[in-house]
């Protein structure tokens, strides 16, 4: 059997039923892989039956033979801008790698952010990942970059939650914690204004600090 995933994007309501035909699913009662057909109606699984046992002549058939049929997988932690750093500085320890890449990634344009999201989405969808939580980092965080990431995920058809990373804690050397270049920390009014705008395009919004070490007590409050 091929090592592959059969996946399908959620169809709009009112479209023709779809049958994933002849794929393998895991039967939890017997703990064995079974050759099966999966009927999808109105964007949801309506029936699972042995191969050839679903009689729906109007359904669109997709050949899933040799494939493993799974529910869409969720990637709960990714940083989309880092897709643009793939293959650079390989072999470095994490802290050294971050210092080498983040000065450039923090200054990505909205168009570059869009390409980074598309690059990551292509890899995830190929492996059966259909939902993602993007712990989105740019310092300073900007609404155009966040909107570009949101629009790119929408274009891919993935279910995505963008968790905007905020940081304002300054180390003893005067540099923000976790930032490779000297950038002025975001102020509380600026963070509040940014977050107000983010909530207009994302429900529910998520903010994250990548650990309490990167936010001061005022920002945490």
Residue 56 sits in a domain whose CATH number is 2.30.40.10
Q: Pick the more confident residue, 180 or 159.
A: 159
Residue 43 CB partners (closer than 8 Å, separation 6+): 10, 11, 12, 13
Do 21 and 128 share a domain, yes or no?
Answer: no
CA 162, 163, 164, 165 torsion-angle sign: negative
Which range of residues forms the domain containing residue 185?
74-220
Do 51 and 93 share a domain, yes or no?
Answer: no
Q: Residue for token digits 């009689």?
A: 55
The total domain count for the chain is: 2
Name the pTM for this structure: 0.72
Q: Which of 107, 111, 114 is nearest to 80 (CA)?
A: 114
Q: Pick the more confident residue, 58 or 20.
A: 20
Contact yes or no for 152/146 (Cβ under 8 A): no
Final residue before a domain boundary, out of 55, 71, 87? 71
CA 11, 17, 21, 25 torsion-angle sign: positive
CA 44, 46, 51, 56 torsion-angle sign: negative
Do 93 and 195 share a domain, yes or no?
Answer: yes
Q: Is it the case that residue 177 has pLDDT exceeding 90?
A: no
């Amino acid at each position: 059997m091929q090592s592959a995933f059969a996946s399908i994007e959620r169809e709009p309501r009112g479209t023709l039923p779809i049958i994933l035909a002849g794929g393998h699913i895991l039967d939890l009662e017997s703990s064995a892989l079974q050759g099966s057909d999966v009927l999808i109606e109105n964007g949801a699984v309506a029936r699972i039956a042995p191969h050839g046992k679903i009689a729906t002549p109007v359904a669109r058939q997709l050949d899933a033979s040799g494939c493993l049929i799974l529910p869409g997988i969720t990637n709960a932690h990714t940083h989309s801008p880092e897709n643009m750093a793939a293959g650079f500085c390989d072999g470095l320890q994490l802290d050294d790698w971050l210092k080498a890449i983040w000065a450039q990634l923090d200054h990505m344009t909205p168009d570059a952010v869009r390409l980074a999201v598309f690059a990551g989405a292509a890899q995830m969808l190929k492996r059966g990942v259909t939902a993602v939580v993007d712990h989105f980092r740019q310092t300073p965080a900007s609404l155009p970059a966040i909107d570009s990431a949101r629009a790119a995920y929408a274009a891919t058809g993935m279910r995505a939650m963008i968790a905007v990373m905020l940081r304002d804690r300054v180390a003893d050397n005067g540099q923000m914690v976790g930032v490779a270049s000297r950038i002025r920390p975001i102020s509380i009014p600026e963070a509040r204004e940014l977050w107000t705008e983010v909530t207009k395009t994302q429900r529910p919004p998520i903010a994250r600090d990548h650990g309490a070490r990167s936010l001061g007590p005022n920002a945490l409050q």
